[in-house]
Amino acid sequence: MLDVLALALGLWFARLAGSGSEFAPLGWAVLSTLEALGTSLLISALGAYRLNEVRQFWSGMLPLLVLGVALATLSTGIVSAILLIALTLMPARALSAAMAGAVLDFGLTERRAVIVGGGEPALRVMAALAECPDNDIRVVGIFDDRDDVRSPIAVGGVPKLGNIEAMVTFARSAEIEMLIVALPLTAEQRIRTVLKTIEVLPVDVRLADFSADPTFRRHGRAALERGLIDVVSRPIIGGQFMLKRVLDIAGATVALLVASPVMLFAALAIRLESEGPVLFRQPRHGYNNRSVTIWKFRSMYADDCDPHARSIVTRGDPRVTRVGRFLRRTSIDELPQLFNVLRGDLSLVGPRPHALRAVSARQEAFEDLVDGYASRHRVRPGITGLAQINGWRGEIDEPEALRRRVEQDLYYIENWSIRLDLYILLMTPFRLLDGRRAY
């Protein structure tokens, strides 16, 4: 935030100096603020706003200076631009570095972690963390399937809380951000089993590989970073999350303004055709498997509404009203979910949220049909997604249909970019014209 304010101030001064006028127009102040915000979001997406990076004065400073000077040069000379941007950015950056250092030193921020595996490997992890006191990792528990002497009830003062299965539930409820797998590298099958179990969690997964040689651990942070091998990283975090959230709020606001007449007519048509509420509420799986309440325009007769999705809607389903059939075919029934986006329950783009007890046409639970199904809950669900623009919407009548959707969802998660979100949003209206599988 300090970078945004400082850069906006520097750009505003540059335009003031280059205008030859005593006062800069209000529009310049707005433009300078937007430019500064965009620049900071770009720098954040590159990872320069992690606390350990901000603590270093020059981390992120050079790209901020270059971009700031480039923008300021459009309004004034190169020398003036350098002076103005440097004089505003450097004090702000120094203050940010000092504040980040204080936050880390006093433990005001941390990544909550658990260790999978006990005994000597877990002890080495705890020792490496202790030798790097300025790290932001706090281990809150240990989980291990073994009950013999190789897995004591506590390691380094951290208690063993249960087995691997219990760890998944604990990680979700305790908002764990990192899982450290501390198993012997020779135990390949156990490691594979653990990684398969925890793939459903939106966490950083690190494989511990600390040498027993004490000379290896003399270098503090370098040894810690070298000994924790990246296996899986949380998707869409930091600057990426901020950028996506800005797109969500702006896009949902604009969409609500544009679609408000359509939504008004839809609400009137629903009330005129049948008794009951205009909106239908249904609990569905959200981020990290949490339950969120999704809003839709009611498309069924009130007495036939199925909030628990015990049976899917099929072609010609008598529970669907005439108005509801049109709303479903055109996806107008989904428009109230724009309010879910503003609440933070949904994103504009992401895997479509399914009901908590969703079943296929053959009454088979989704999680039983597709291996890794819950992995799609590692990001916020969306109103539209990659699967939807590729033709996988509507009734799930075959296991293959669900597998293809999950495949598309996981590809989206692993390859997310703001460009991909914009592409999906652009293609969605065209794909809605094909209503063959929406009924």
pLDDT in tens, 375-397: 899 999 999 999 988 887 766 66
Q: 170 with 183: CB under 8 angstroms?
A: no
Q: Give the per-residue pLDDT at 217.
A: 46
Q: What is the mean pLDDT of residues 253-268?
A: 93
Coil, strand or helix: which one is 46?
Answer: coil
pLDDT band at 22 (very low <50, low <70, confident <90, very high): very low
Distance CA(350)–CA(386), nearest Å, equals 8
Q: Of 428, 421, 411, nearest to 248 (Cα)? A: 421
Distance CA(428)–CA(370), nearest Å, equals 26
Coil, strand or helix: which one is 225?
Answer: helix
pTM of the model: 0.71
pLDDT in tens, 179-192: 999 887 778 888 88
Distance CA(212)–CA(222), nearest Å, equals 16
Q: 54 with 100: CB under 8 angstroms?
A: yes
* Structure token pair of residue 400: 């293959």
Q: What is the mean pLDDT of residues 261-272?
A: 93
249/28: higher pLDDT: 249
In this predicted structure, the answer to whether residue 122 has a pLDDT above a threshold of 60 is yes
Q: CATH second-level architecture of 111-232?
A: 3-Layer(aba) Sandwich (3.40)
Other CB atoms within 10 Å distance of the CB of residue 253: 13
**What does the domain layout of the chain look like in residue ranges?**
2-105, 111-232, 239-432
pLDDT in tens, 273-320: 888 899 999 899 899 888 999 999 998 887 777 666 666 766 767 888
pLDDT in tens, 332-366: 999 999 999 999 999 999 999 988 776 666 666 77
Mean pLDDT (the chain, rounded) = 76
pLDDT in tens, 70-90: 555 555 555 455 555 555 555
